[in-house]
Chains A and B, each alone.
Chain A
Amino acid sequence: MTQRLVLFLAALVAISPIFGVWLTELLGYHEPLDIAVELINEAADYTLLKDLSEEWRWTPFADYKVPGLPDWAGYIVSGFIGLITFFILYVIIKELYAKRTS
Chain B
Amino acid sequence: MLGIYAYALFALAAYSFTYRDNVFFKLAEHTYLAVAIGYTAAVGYGYIRFTAVEPIITGKNMLWIIPLVVGFLFVFFFSKKYFWLYRFPIAMITGSGMGLAMSGTISAQFLAQITATIGLPLVVVHPKLGFQAMDTLNNWLIIIMVIGTLAYFFFSLGPETGLGKATSKAGLIGRWTMMIAFGSAFGNTVMTRMNLFIGVYKNLLRDYTSFIGLAVLILVVATLQGRREKKPE
A, B bound: no
Enumerate chain A interface residues (CB-CB to B < 8 A): none
